Amino acid sequence: MSDTQMKVTADHVRRDAYLYVRQSSLYQVANNTESGRRQYDLRGRAVALGWPAERVVVIDVDQGQSGSSATDREGFQRLVADVSLQKAGIVLGLLLSAAFVRDAGAVVGRDGAG
């Protein structure tokens, strides 16, 4: 059993797993298909960690939208809201940046109550 698997508890798996998929431009979506495939493949990682496939929520409506602001990213807003409501047992994404963390803090608010 890996260190990661030991950290995932029954309380985590009781909630849904969330996969956030996004590329910054429509050009990237169309031409960088390997990145898109790798992002969607993270669904299998959630399953390997114990989540049933039907409880992996894939949020990919922000494809082709810049990450410079959270304002116009409907999927990101949903993700942050669901995390704030403690619906998520795990959040998976490829190359989540410091901007992701910054934007999540801005949406939720400093006290964590969105």
Q: Cα separation of 50 and 54, whole Å? A: 12
Residue 38: CA count within 13 A, CB half-sphere: 9
Q: Do the Cβ atoms of 62 and 76 come closer than 8 Å?
A: yes
Distance of CA 69 to the CA centre of its chain: 16
Residue 1 CA to residue 20 CA, distance in Å, equals: 26
Which residue is catalytic, options 24, 25, 35, 69? Answer: 24
The encoded tokens of residue 82 equal: 């669901």
CB-based contact 21:93 (threshold 8 Å): yes
Is residue 84 part of the annotated active site? The answer reads no
List residues with catalytic annotation.
Answer: 24
